[in-house]
Amino acid sequence: MNDWPLLDKYGLTPVPQRFYWLLLVLLRPYLSWVLVLTLPAQQKDLLKLFYPQQQDFLMACLIALPVLLVVVALTQRSDKRSAAWRPVWRVSQPLLLLCCSADLIYTLYDLPTDAILDAPWRLVSVVALGLCLFWLVRSSTLPIIFREWPEPVIKK
């Protein structure tokens, strides 16, 4: 069997689907914010279901802010894009690890004592963050992906 992974059209190791799920978990404050902005005015209190205090939402957005840089660097990972995002891409794994750890710690800190009875859906984020953190630490593919950056195509 061939041990080499299939390469994408830029000659790079393709980003696994789990990476996109990781980004969704870490960007959940921004995604919930967009969701609330698209709802009718009568249902604007949906954000309070996940973030009871406004401070909780602002802190979650602040923790997830560096992940937005990783998303932008991911979009620039092609042969015709700017190499200025290469340094951001190279430090993305430690950055994601830091954000995921901080998010998990803050989520556990902010979890009410009776969450299993009153808000069991908040436990889903704790489990998801734990799985994401485990994958970030144990993945053998992620270090390879974060080392690669396409070389620009020189037109002759």
User: pLDDT tens digit string along 131-152?
Assistant: 999 999 999 989 989 988 877 6
**106: closest CA among 152, 62, 74, 60?**
60
Interacting residues of 98 by C-beta distance below 8 A, sequence separation 6+: 66
3-state secondary structure of 8: coil
The conformational region for residue 150 under phi > 0 = left, psi -120 to 50 = alpha, else beta, is beta
pLDDT in tens, the chain (156 residues): 445 557 776 677 888 899 999 999 999 999 988 888 887 776 667 777 777 788 888 999 999 999 999 999 998 887 666 778 888 999 999 999 999 999 999 988 877 777 666 667 778 888 999 999 999 999 998 998 998 887 765 655
Tens digits of per-residue pLDDT, 73-85?
A: 998 887 666 778 8
CA distances for 67 relative to 1, 22, 25, 28, angstroms: 36, 10, 11, 11
The conformational region for residue 109 under phi > 0 = left, psi -120 to 50 = alpha, else beta, is alpha
Sorted by where each begins, the domain ranges of the chain are: 17-38+51-147
